[in-house]
Structure 1
Amino acid sequence: MSHVVLAAPTYVPFDLKSLSGGDTAWVLASASLVLLMTPALAFFYGGMVRAKHTLAMLMQNFAAMAIVSVTWVVVGFSLAFGGTGRYLGDLHYVLMHHINDVVPTLGTAQTMPTIVFVAFQLTFAIITPALITGSTADRWKFGAFIAFVSAWSILIYAPVAHWVFNGYGFLNQSLRPAGKFFAEDFAGGTVVHINAGAAGLAMALVLGKRRGWPKENMRGHNIPFVMLGAGLLWFGWFGFNAGSALAANGLAGYAWMNTNTATATAMLGWLIVEKLRYGKSTALGAASGAVAGLVAITPCAGFVSVTGALFIGLLAGVGCAFAIGLKNRLGYDDSLDVVGVHFVGGWIGTLCVGFFSTSGTNPLANNGIFYHGGGKWGGWSLLLHQAEAAAVVTVFSFVGTFLIAKVIGLVMRTRVTEEDEITGIDLSIHGETAYDFGPLAGSGSGHYVPAAAASKESVQA
């Protein structure tokens, strides 16, 4: 999130005179775009799993939308953006009380009603735990998932958002005169992607490997779904990044253009790697490369030039194409490559800020190494701050997620049974299937019935 003030009041009533209709409309539109990204992610992931687990993947992503929508307005937003503390917000906005007061980290720069800012940040809070489901596909019990997201959105996401997105947070501190950090994360490279990637790795280790992995063929069953999801993610990401300017201005334009540019070069980079390594460029590779570029440009979008975005996207496409192979070498079952794409891509983008950040794009940005940055905040110092922020979020998210999962495991089963995994989570847990090939719609058999047999059965009925 871009900060545009150096000092802010604690709590004062919102001044309607400072309201900008254009900024309000843009942030509301951006919130809607980002909300679309979670159903898009559901189809992106849903196409990459086997047919018998499709609905389970969609259900987890839609459930995340419902759960976090509640936890965010009850307490999550207040913990993330309330107050001026270093490590956690206060309870000023609990249950949306005092919602007409300004957000302290925005202060006099707030040009939209607070409730609009709440809505925008809600969509970030929703998609972050949804991303984790890619690491745990085919084996996470739905009830345990519900409990996990409820706890994780409050205990992990809200503190991390406070540290990085809140100007008073200890990984940012841009609003503290004596602050030692100014980690630049425009739209969530650390808060969303590194956070979700580290949590995904922890959950993959807690739940264990899928039955039959890596020997059995577990290819995705519907690549068109994957491409559709990737396209909608690309579309929604303009709200994710350009909306983080929190204004309808030139900075939003830079963020939009940087997002598109990095996504395009990342896709091309991934396809080139595939062609050189395997002799073919795949549709799944194109979709994965695009998402890798979207991830990497997220922390950079409002801090780098379009030229910088070209290189960042290429680095992400090539780097993540190789990183997805780590799970086979290290032996962890990251089902849909959340670690390889979101965790590694988030680290690439966060570090790239230290190289490509330029005040030519954002006057408040510190110049990176390639732009002759120096002094207390720029250049190598900025790169160090970026690495420190990414490392802190990595450790906190991984350890915190591991502990939450273990505690939940003490009171309920977290992984589906072997029988349920073989049958398919759709049928065994949710009582329905994504594709019904039987003669009677809604029969729930999930098994293919030859046309002749179906006709005979229909006559007998």
Structure 2
Amino acid sequence: MLGLSRRIHPKEHPMDAGSMAFGIVATALVLFMTPGLAFFYGGLVRAKSVISMMMMSFGAIGLVGTLWILYGYNMSAVDSPLDFSGNPFSDLGLAAMAAGESANTDFIGVAYGSTFAIITIALISGAIADRAKFGAWMLFAGAFATLGYFPIAAWVWGGGWAYSLGELLGLPAVIDYAGGTAVHINAGAAALALTFVLGKRLDFTKGAHKPHNVPFVILGASILWFGWFGFNVGAEWLNGLEGAGLITLNTVGATAASICAWLLVEKVKDGKPTSVGAASGAVAGLVAITPACANLTPGWALLLGALSGALCALAVELKWRLGFDDSLDVVGIHLVGGMLGTIYLGFFANETGLFLGGGIGQLLVQLIASVGVMLYAFLAAFVIGFAIEKTIGFRVTSEDELAGVDRVVHGEDAYEYELERV
């Protein structure tokens, strides 16, 4: 089904020092993506919200990384496709794994998996910029990781219903190599739910919120692209790097084509191509190629990238027409891009795609998996977010929002300006 196998069996996948080193490097690359996301998001918000924005990403690293080791890994695989998740208490804190003969290799796999959980939760934060309490966000992050990401990872990669869907229906297996459903559709749907829970910013009008630091945005997108090779190619360390060349090229090609398409749409629509558009286009291409990177020839990957750049550039405008305040376009890029990349495989996946020799089966399972994950993630995030809002409160007060959440929530300013005295 995909390369991101949850379990590592050393007898079946013997690991030499080089393979293990590659796994460690891939883990570091994906972990580095979350600080990259912090720069990307931080540059897009106002100067008095940048610390709050970056702290939501760093908070996710701390909390979700801890929960993954305590019980999240245990939840991310199931014995039956009908199970909701694995037993969180089956190896609390991984004590039994630590005593096993293959612990040295197994722990690399656990660490690698943790980085996917971390960035999935961090991505959601972009939808609620400028108006969320940090404590409430952390409570949401822990609850949604537990009820959202951990079980969905089991469904997609750990033997759950999405993993087994093709076998159950007598159709091709669902393809999601590195997270179109479990990461991007999941995060995008959850982000959409939180926009309804927290509501709009006080000055939710087009052009009211401009990026305060465009170089941060470019830096963040560049770090994300750099780390994405661990995201996509990294999973191949379990497969002897058999498909690493194709995955690497597709990760470059789709992203490059997406940049070009986004800039073209901007030029036609607004008259000027922007650097923020280029950065957003890169992320859109990366999102779309994530589920498909191992199952498309390079030409079809380029087409997917071009489609994702154009479609996401148009989709980010929907919030103004439909009236939901997705502050940093998590829905327009991650939900739309994730859905596009996952469903695209139904048409163009090597051998099984509808237009490449297969029947309609691949398209059907891709649709079922993507829509199923989207609906569950939206519902879970809405219920958790609504419960937080109605108890401790999720959103800061109007006065605090106007003053800036950095000073109010964290007691810090991102920038200190002092006039030189002559």
Q: Secondary structure of the equivalent of 2:421?
A: helix
Q: Normalized against structure 1, the TM-score is what?
A: 0.86
Q: CA deviation at 1:98?
A: 2.6
Q: How does 1:362-381 map to 2 (within 5 A)?
A: 367-374=352-359, 380-381=360-361
Deviations 1:335-386 (A, max 9, x none): 0100000000000000111112115xxxxxxx21221113xxxxx1101110
State the AA in 1 paired with 2:354: I
Q: Secondary structure of the equivalent of 2:243?
A: helix
Task: Quote the Cα distance in structure 2 between the aligned partners of 1:427 and 1:182.
Answer: 50
Q: CA deviation at 1:133?
A: 0.8
2:222 is aligned to 231
Larger Rg: 1
Q: Secondary structure of the equivalent of 1:371?
A: coil
Q: CA deviation at 1:2?
A: 2.0
1:67 is aligned to 63
Q: Secondary structure of the equivalent of 1:72?
A: helix
Task: Quote the Cα distance in structure 1 between the aligned partners of 2:130 and 2:226.
Answer: 27
Q: Any conservation in 2 of the 1:194–1:394 contact (CA below 8 Å)? A: yes
Q: Normalized against structure 2, the TM-score is what?
A: 0.93
Task: Quote the Cα distance in structure 1 between the aligned partners of 2:307 and 2:72.
Answer: 34
Q: Any conservation in 2 of the 1:22–1:247 contact (CA below 8 Å)? A: no
2:242 is aligned to 250
Q: Any conservation in 2 of the 1:173–1:180 contact (CA below 8 Å)? A: no
State the AA in 2 paired with 1:188: G
Q: CA deviation at 1:25?
A: 1.9
Task: Quote the Cα distance in structure 2 between the aligned partners of 1:231 and 1:385.
Answer: 33
2:45 is aligned to 49
Q: Any conservation in 1 of the 2:171–2:362 contact (CA below 8 Å)? A: no
Asked whether 1:197 is paired with 2:188, we answer yes
Q: CA deviation at 1:92?
A: 2.9
Task: Quote the Cα distance in structure 1 between the aligned partners of 2:152 and 2:200.
Answer: 28
Q: Any conservation in 2 of the 1:238–1:256 contact (CA below 8 Å)? A: yes
Q: Which moved more, 1:413-422 or 1:245-254?
A: 245-254
Where structure 2 has 5 or more consecutive residues not aligned to the other structure, the ranges are none
2:23 is aligned to 27
Task: Quote the Cα distance in structure 1 between the aligned partners of 2:13 and 2:312.
Answer: 47
Task: Quote the Cα distance in structure 1 between the aligned partners of 2:410 and 2:4.
Answer: 47
Q: CA deviation at 1:237?
A: 0.3
State the AA in 2 paired with 1:402: F
Task: Quote the Cα distance in structure 1 between the aligned partners of 2:332 and 2:404.
Answer: 26
Q: Which moved more, 1:60-69 or 1:75-84?
A: 75-84
Q: Secondary structure of the equivalent of 1:173?
A: helix
1:428 is aligned to 408
1:281 is aligned to 273
Q: How does 1:2-401 map to 2 (within 5 A)?
A: 2=2, 15=11, 18-81=14-77, 83-87=79-83, 88-90=85-87, 91-99=89-97, 113-166=105-158, 168-173=159-164, 182-214=173-205, 217-245=208-236, 246-359=238-351, 367-374=352-359, 380-401=360-381
Q: CA deviation at 1:391?
A: 0.4
Q: CA deviation at 1:413?
A: 1.4
Q: Secondary structure of the equivalent of 2:128?
A: coil
Q: Any conservation in 1 of the 2:171–2:365 contact (CA below 8 Å)? A: no
Percent of pairs identical after alignment? 44
Deviations 1:209-244 (A, max 9, x none): 011111662101100000000000000000001112
* Pair 1:226–1:4, CA change in 2 (3 A): closer
Q: Any conservation in 1 of the 2:165–2:365 contact (CA below 8 Å)? A: no
* Pair 1:265–1:410, CA change in 2 (3 A): same
Q: CA deviation at 1:20?
A: 3.3
Q: Secondary structure of the equivalent of 2:325?
A: coil
Count residues with an aligned counterpart: 418
* Pair 1:43–1:83, CA change in 2 (3 A): same
Task: Quote the Cα distance in structure 2 between the aligned partners of 1:56 and 1:394.
Answer: 27
Task: Quote the Cα distance in structure 1 between the aligned partners of 2:328 and 2:12.
Answer: 46
Where structure 1 has 5 or more consecutive residues not aligned to the other structure, the ranges are 103-109, 360-366, 375-379, 439-450, 457-461
1:106 is aligned to none
Q: Any conservation in 2 of the 1:43–1:58 contact (CA below 8 Å)? A: yes
Task: Quote the Cα distance in structure 2 between the aligned partners of 1:81 and 1:283.
Answer: 41
Q: Any conservation in 2 of the 1:172–1:181 contact (CA below 8 Å)? A: no
Q: Any conservation in 2 of the 1:24–1:111 contact (CA below 8 Å)? A: no
Task: Quote the Cα distance in structure 2 between the aligned partners of 1:4 and 1:338.
Answer: 23
Q: Secondary structure of the equivalent of 1:237?
A: helix
Asked whether 1:415 is paired with 2:395, we answer yes
* Pair 1:216–1:370, CA change in 2 (3 A): closer
